Amino acid sequence: MAAIATARKSRLHNAIEGLALTTILQSFPTFAAAAFLLKLAGNHDLSGDPGVAIFVAIASLAHAMLAVTFGPSFPHLFKTIYEPKFFEAHLSLADKIAAWRTQPVASLQLVTIVLLLSVMAVVTASVG
């Protein structure tokens, strides 16, 4: 049954899945952490401004689109951003995420993000 469902996936659907996974799992944490670091550094322009969320969303999407566009052509330059497994049409969405998570580089990225966000949360809570 799963083979039938993945066989019907169009090229456009697969490309959108890959772009969404690249945006959400690789680009968004980078820009969200950057915005959080600016806030912690005392940039008061970010307080209560909805433009920050818009910036993070647009920057994440643009970053992912660059990675998806140039990643296959220049894999040595985009090796930390572009993930070919996100664009394998025979994999379901859950299988793409599972295949990505089991790689050592992805595990290192996830651990780094968790530690960074944990440190930032402690600093934010202690600063007041």
Taking 60 as the threshold, does the pLDDT of residue 122 lie above it?
A: yes
Taking 90 as the threshold, does the pLDDT of residue 41 lie above it?
A: no
The structure's pTM equals 0.79
pLDDT the model gives residue 24: 92
Residue-averaged pLDDT of the chain: 84
HEC readout, the chain:
CHHHHHHCCCHHHHHHHHHHHHHHHHHHHHHHHHHHHHHHCCCHHHCCCHHHHHHHHHHHHHHHHHHHHHCCCCCCCCCCCCCHHHHCCCCCHHHHHHHHHCCHHHHHHHHHHHHHHHHHHHHHHHHC
What is the average pLDDT across 14-29? Answer: 92
